[in-house]
Amino acid sequence: MQELAALASIVATLTVGVVSPGPSFVMVARVAFASSRSRALATALGMSAGAKRPLAIVAGSGQGSSRPLRSFWLGVTTQVSNPKTAIVYASVFAAFLPASFSLGFAAVLLAAVFLVESAWYALVAFLFSSTGPQRAYLSYKSWIDRAAGAAMLGLGLKLVTSAAKP
């Protein structure tokens, strides 16, 4: 029963963290707007598969069937290098993960985290790869890219300045 309460707390908290906008959201949305639904869904799946092991970038010509695979690896590398992801997961696990747990709990937790991540980013990919949102994005692409870049620059500067404070 204690593991079930911990699992529910972790999944609920991670869901809030996943749906809050960050670099992963921006990446999936950008691929969805600027490309195809299959590439956006592959990127979303890559976000869900972000792992702690080192990754090799898949080299390719960017043509044909390799595009979804390249989008998948783009999602994985974005998620693995995303400081928001590391902070959210570290804080949630530190707060809610029991000191000892069963192998079954670990397996269910892993599946639940994958489901939360993939469901959210697949929804983003699906919605933003639709014709209407794509047209709107392409109409204002330069301004949206500038605003997103400025926001990321601001967040980066805030991170750098806050890290320098004692």
Total domains in the fold of the chain: 1
Per-residue pLDDT band for 45 (boundaries 50, 70, 90) equals confident
The DSSP code sequence of the chain is -HHHHHHHHHHHHHHHHHHS-SHHHHHHHHHHHHS-HHHHHHHHHHHHT--SS--PPPP--S-TTHHHHHHHHHHHHHHHT-HHHHHHHHHHHHHHS-SS--HHHHHHHHHHHHHHHHHHHHHHHHHHTSHHHHHHHHHSHHHHHHHHHHHHHHHHHHHHHHHH--
130-156 pLDDT per residue, tens: 888 878 877 887 887 788 777 767 767
**What integer best gives the mean pLDDT of the chain?**
79
Q: Which domain holds residue 68?
A: 2-164
20-37 pLDDT per residue, tens: 777 788 888 888 888 888
Q: Mean of the pLDDT values across residues 82-110?
A: 87
